[in-house]
Structure 1
Amino acid sequence: MTAIKLSVVFLVLNFLWTSASQDVEHFCNVRERCILPCTFETGDEVVIHWILVKTGEIQAHSFYHSQDQLGHQNQQFRGRTSLFKEQISGGNASLQLTGVKVQDEGRYKCYVSTILENKESFINLKVDAPVHQVNIQQEGTNISCSSEGIYPKPELTWSTTTPELQSTPVVEQTEEQLYSIKSSLILSNSNPDLDYSCTVKTRRNQRTATLFKTTSSSGSSTERKLSCKTPDTPLTGFIWTFNHSQVIVSKEKTDGSLSVSEEWRQQVKHVSESGDITLQDLSSQQEGIYTCELSDAEETYVTNTFLQISGDKPADVVGIAVGVAVGVAFLLVGVLLYLKYCRRNQRPRQKTRNGVKKKKNVLKKLNNHKNLQNFSFILL
């Protein structure tokens, strides 16, 4: 009877000592490091279990006997979890999770046991892959907008200065359970001066890309300045491309370093802080669409400029052209003089040949006449 009373007392005390708190919502980004917080009252003989509660209990990390115990750790977490061991004695049982995946999303239980108490706390981990970049591009009369590497499932909307446009986007999901989204529109013929904006949004962030109407620029090939439409907010980076494929110059968002591609080093003369670019020594091969893509913390601004080369040519090109023209002229003159010379020499030779032939015929006739006279004289 005494043993039964002691067991009841132990169960009651164990119930009282085991405390639980309300779920805490915590957000972490894909591929980044994440810390799931958990604290407890300090005590001896610390036991820590981190468990992902889904259809069953998935062992994420265990610690007891003053060391990690990973024999039953699920393969999903292998090599990606750790505790702050030097802080456990101070009551810190937080779990560090590296290389966060979409599959890590869910409800986690932090169980801590000491000789003083047992404690359970729950954390709802929400995994996000924010919208980092929205690409907007025009090809002919078609304008497209796309973004990728997003979680959870995003939304895409179009807008202009006119009422909001309607378009059904195409959404796909990768093996990593990340989403990509794309939509396209046919440009309005009735109002070609419209600017188009595309917004991709998830539960925690959104980005907008705006495509301004295409402008035209023509002028000297010696030097041309192309400008971007600059926002009022501080820039995080920009990139210039040629015909939507060749990168001319870019400014990195991370460290602000400026990089000019090897193919355009001779043509890029100057790049301003606002993104404007000055080109030099251009040829007909550099005629086409120049795209400036500026970015700030929340938006991307795209400006297309069609550049047509006209006016004076670079000095070396002009020199080559003049040299070729002069050479061709001298060659034609030489040919004409040679033909004229040949014709003049051909006529006297022809006349001389005809004269000699006539003279021979006359002599022949004279000789025949003389022979006939001699023959007649003999007969007489």
Structure 2
Amino acid sequence: MRHVESLSNSQSEKRSCSLQPEKLSIYVLMAAAVRVCACFLLVGLVIESNGKTPDVQITCLFSENCILPCSFKPTGGEEVQWFRQDAVVYSHPQSIDQPSEQLEGRTSMSTQQLALGNASLLLQRCGPQDRGRYRCRVVKGKEENQSFVIMKVEAHIHSVNIDITRLSGFEEVKCSTQDVYPAPRVTWSTEPPTPSDKLRPLTRIMANKQGLYTVESKLKRLKGLSNFTYICTINSSYSARTWRTSLKETVVNDVILTLKTYSFLEWAEINSAEGKDLTIPCKAPWIMQNFTLTWTFKLTTANETTVICTYDSETQLMSNQWKGRARVDGRTMQTGDASLQLLNPQSVEHTGTYTCIITGLQRRHEGQTVVNVTSPARESERMEVKMESSTLWWVPAVVIGLLAITAAFIVGILKLTDDCSRSNNAREARDSHQVRVTLKDSEAVSEGSHLTADPTNEQEVKDVH
């Protein structure tokens, strides 16, 4: 007697499916472990961010002195060290480690201010080589406090020139500036507008031994045009300063007349406390003999612009619409300093945008300053919001990541359960169609004779006979 059966596959599938609950348990445990680790990570990040001081960013002017801030709670006997990229810049009291030759003799600290908790470092004659990340380390016994300062160095644009040159064998319009850091960005335009593919300027940037840049940008002069203006715009990389110079050509009786104009735009922002006098700067980069000055104000909550004061250098007449609230010092006007002094500013009436416009012969200076005047209560609220936004901005990202990981595990478990269910259904379907053939010597098929046997099974039956 011989049995022909096809049960091995179904048995193995049954055994494999019997392992699925164990796998499900493992996945559930893994998901729980990931959630626990994420929670610990979240708590650790909160603790670390609350105890970490954010970096302070400052911009120092080329060849001028600069102060790198650092403060602490004084108890007496503190040791202070300043580092730049792990190299000692200054130490108090003086230690064996001395500053590098690059900074030697240019760093100092006030002993009197140190006793008050002010460990700020004075760096003299700043240059591009001094930029970088500085670390202030205050140590007393086992206690240690650190703060970081990111220092940038800038050499302002003082003038921009525009001329027509013929050095290359053909006429070119050249726009140039020098002794600038970092290298500024130069763009060209025309009036009326010209397609950019027809302008094709060539710009050269060269550095001197001090690290300052000279920028020259040349543009082929377009021929046969009248009342045509070339406009060169140079933007500073760090500060919100824009120089705009133009050259206008007009043909009169076959004679080309050129007119050059220069304009300077500057943006700034000032935060001040309510009731504290403040000065809004406005200083033209040129000394102009004949000019007019206009100060305007635009309230943050309104679209209407009001005139604060006007001044004419020829008549020396000042018209002040804000008497008792604002004034301009007439003694500094002739030097181009038209700064506005706000007296006892209030948060509601004086928060907005102040615009200073100085116009002279072929010269125009415009400065816009956003002034935020806050009351003590609003200032504390603003600082709290700022601290929360600066330290906890990443919390939503961590929470979203945690939810995404959990969702991924849930989807995986559901998919695994669905695959197992489909496998069980398929196994049951195959079992219902299985044929059990029992052969006993030369007897006929005793069971399943009403079914059509697989060709392989038929071959096996023939071999038995």
Q: Which has the higher contact order (CA 8 A, sep 6+)?
A: 2
Query: Once superposed, what is the RMSD of the aligned Cα atoms?
Result: 3.6
Q: Give the 5 Å matches for 1:245-260.
A: 255=335
- The structure 1 residue matched to 2:249, chosen from 213, 219, 240, is 213
Q: Which runs of 4+ in 1 moved over 3 A?
A: 68-71, 214-217, 227-236, 273-276
Q: Does 1:50 align with 2:82?
A: yes
Partner of residue 155, structure 2: 129
Q: Deviations for 1:296-341, whole angstroms, at most 9, x for unmatched residues?
A: 257xxxxxxxxxxxxxxxxxxxxxxxxxxxxxxxxxxxxxxxxxxx
- 1:35 corresponds in structure 2 to 67
Contact 1:237–1:253 (CA under 8 A) maintained in structure 2: no
Q: Show the counterpart of 1:329.
A: none
Distance between the aligned counterparts of 2:236 and 2:204, measured in 1?
16
Taking a change above 3 Å as real, the CA distance of residues 34 and 232 of structure 1, as seen in their structure-2 partners, is closer
Distance 1:42 1:102 in 2: 33
Residue 230 of structure 1: how far off its partner (Å): 9.1
Structure 1, unpaired ranges of 5+: 1-15, 218-226, 241-251, 258-272, 277-292, 299-380
146, 156, 172: which one pairs with 1:142? Answer: 172
Q: TM-score, normalised by structure 1?
A: 0.51
Change (3 A) 1:169 1:231: closer
Percent identity for Structure 1 against Structure 2 = 28
SS in 2 for 1:91: coil
Q: TM-score, normalised by structure 2?
A: 0.42
Q: In the TM superposition, what are the counterparts of 1:339-358 in structure 2 within 5 Å? A: none
Q: How has the CA–CA distance of structure 1 residues 231 and 129 changed in structure 2, closer, same or farther, with 3 Å as cutoff? A: closer
2:113 aligns with 87
1:174 maps to amino acid: N
Instruction: Give ranges in structure 2 of 5+ residues lacking alignment.
Output: 1-47, 254-258, 266-282, 290-331, 338-357, 368-465
Contact 2:81 2:136 survives alignment (8 Å): yes
Corresponding residue SS for 2:335: coil
CA distance in 2 between counterparts of 1:89 and 1:151 reads 37
Shift of 1:137: 1.3
In structure 2, how many angstroms separate the alpha carbons of the residues matched to 1:202 and 1:49?
34
2:352 aligns with: none
Select the residue among 145, 148, 166 that pairs with 2:200: 166
Cα offset, 1:119, TM superposition? 0.6
Matched, 1:119 2:127: no
**Is the Cα–Cα contact under 8 Å of residues 235 and 294 in structure 1 kept in the other structure?**
no
Query: Which amino acid counterpart does residue 286 of structure 2 have in structure 1?
Result: G
- Computing the radius of gyration from Cα coordinates, the structure with the larger value is 1
Aligned equivalents of 2:130 and 2:202: distance in 1? 31
Q: Is the 8 A contact 2:181 2:212 kept in 1?
A: yes
- The whole-number CA distance in structure 1 between the counterparts of 2:214 and 2:249 is 26
Matched, 1:59 2:85: no
1:296 to 359, 362, 365: 365
Q: Does 1:193 align with 2:195?
A: no
Question: What are the equivalent positions in structure 2 for 1:298-337 lying under 5 Å apart?
Answer: none
Compared CA separation, residues 125 and 212, structure 1 to 2 (3 A): same
The one-letter amino acid of 2:186's match is L
